[in-house]
Amino acid sequence: MNIQLDSQGRLKHFLGIEGLKRELLIEILDIAASLIQVSEKAVKKVPLLRGKTVVNLFFEPSTRTRTTFELAAKRLSADVLNFNISSSSTSKGETLLDMLNNLEAMHCDMFVVRHDEAGAPFFMAQHVPEHISIVNAGDGRHEHPTQAMLDMFTIRQHKGEFHNLKVAIVGDILHSRVARSQIFALTTLGAAEVRIIAPRTLMPKGIEDMGVKVFDRLKAGLQDVDVVIMLRIQRERMRSALLPSEQEYFQYYGLTEDMLAQAHPDAIVMHPGPINRGVEIESSVADGSRSVILQQVSNGIAVRMAVMAMVLGRIDKPLETAKDSLV
């Protein structure tokens, strides 16, 4: 039994893409499409989670992800508590379960969890009461499922169906939870081909078992792809000798105008952010007409709204009209 689903097969927690069926991923995308119009209204709120309390538990920093989750919850009319882990009692020795028990006593309904240890959101989902839902905002090297779903939403906006698409994911695959979730999502949604492009030092062993094609040369990997997803390179990888230097990485794996010319003429460029300009991508590409990076950020709010409404059982189908959302 999938811990993420209730007895009726609906989302109870959203912990990862792996193991979820295509129909459920499509449902998330469809509901997000019906909610995206909320951001265009004068009053950017719907009452789907009125009376609910959402707690952001971020054990590692991520301003962009935390902010979009907070906006999503508030636009669903939920009350939001941002828990400052660095100054909390967990830094004084309080265990994770102790902290959960104290937060449960405050009658919270959902925990959005970002943690540097893989599996932490699963552990929490196994120990919270039935009425509490857990949403994974990124755990270790495991998954970042809402990032993957906002990426899928953006791809569908521009490309329609997935079955004829060739998608390239470029960068630090070894350490990337985003890449893992993207691979699970793309293969589940039926993408024609998923390519992984990275230096050998940043390529996980056995990655082919996930149904991807592996390239260690950017030019070859980008040939005729429809979507290019660049991953952020963290500078500590340079210090750990996994990469020689930023300049050399950019020379061989940076996305430039010349390299992008290898892709399909109407290929789109994506990046989960934050961008290291001149390391994984040059500014003219990041800011160019084929870049949809800022759209990814905007779409993230609607996708996270959809996930949060679904796991709390307040919506199980797309809203047909804006009027429906005000009922």
User: What's the pLDDT band for 5 if we cut at 50, 70, 90?
Assistant: very high
42 shares a domain with 26: yes
The verdict on residue 5 lying in a domain is: no
Q: Determine the average pLDDT of the residues in 261-267.
A: 98
Nearest to 326 by CA among 38, 50, 37, 47: 47
DSSP 203: S
Instruction: Say which CATH number the domain at 218 has.
Output: 3.40.50.1370
Catalytic residue among 52, 144, 180, 195: 144
Catalytic site residue from 22, 44, 50, 64: 64
- Could you confirm whether 142 is annotated as catalytic? no
313: in domain = yes
User: Average pLDDT, stretch 85-104?
Assistant: 71
At 326, the pLDDT band (50, 70, 90 cuts) reads very low
Say if CB 31 and CB 306 are below 8 A apart: yes
Domain-located, residue 84:
yes
| Rounded average pLDDT over 24-53 | 91
Query: Quick one: 232 and 107 in the same domain?
Result: no
Same domain, 43 and 125: yes
Number of domains in the chain: 2
- For residue 70, the one-letter residue type is E
The answer to whether residue 9 sits within a structural domain is: no
In this prediction, residue 321 carries a pLDDT of 46
22 is a catalytic site residue: no
Which range of residues forms the domain containing residue 267?
Answer: 145-296
Q: Which of 13, 52, 65, 68 is catalytic?
A: 65
Domain match, 179 and 117 both = no
Q: Active-site residue 159, yes or no?
A: no
**Catalytic entry in 63, 92, 107, 323:** 92
Q: What is the pTM of this model?
A: 0.93
Answer yes or no: 74 catalytic.
Answer: no
State CA 101 to chain mean position distance.
28
Shared domain check, 318 and 181 = no
Residue 158 and residue 269 in one domain: yes
Interval 74-83 mean pLDDT: 94
Both 128 and 187 in one domain: the answer is no
Residue 271 shares a structural domain with residue 233? yes
Do residues 302 and 214 both lie within one domain?
Answer: no
- Are residues 264 and 197 both part of a single domain? yes
139 and 216 belong to one structural domain: no
Q: Cis peptide before 274, with omega less than 30 degrees from 0?
A: yes
Dihedral of the CA atoms 80, 86, 89, 92 (nearest 10)?
170
For residue 16, tell me if it sits in a domain.
Answer: no
- Angle 273-38-14 from CA coordinates, rounded to 5°: 55
**Residue 11 counted as domain residue:** no
Closest CA to 233 of 175, 313, 190, 291: 175
- Examine residue 1 and state whether it is found in any structural domain, yes or no: no
pLDDT digits (tens, 9 = 90+) for 172-196: 999 999 999 999 999 999 999 999 9
Rounding to the nearest 10 degrees, give the CA dihedral for residues 143, 144, 147, 149: 50
Q: Is 64 a catalytic residue?
A: yes
DSSP letter string, 105-137: TTT--EEEEEESSTTHHHHHHHHS-TT-EEEEE
User: What's the residue count for the chain?
Assistant: 327
Amino acid symbol at 224? D
- Residue 93: predicted pLDDT: 56
Residues 79 and 211 both lie in one domain: no
Domain assignment of residue 17, yes or no: no
pLDDT surpasses 80 at 4: yes
Q: What is the mean pLDDT of the chain?
A: 91
Q: Which of these is catalytic: 114, 156, 177, 304?
A: 114
Nearest to 181 by CA among 298, 14, 1: 14
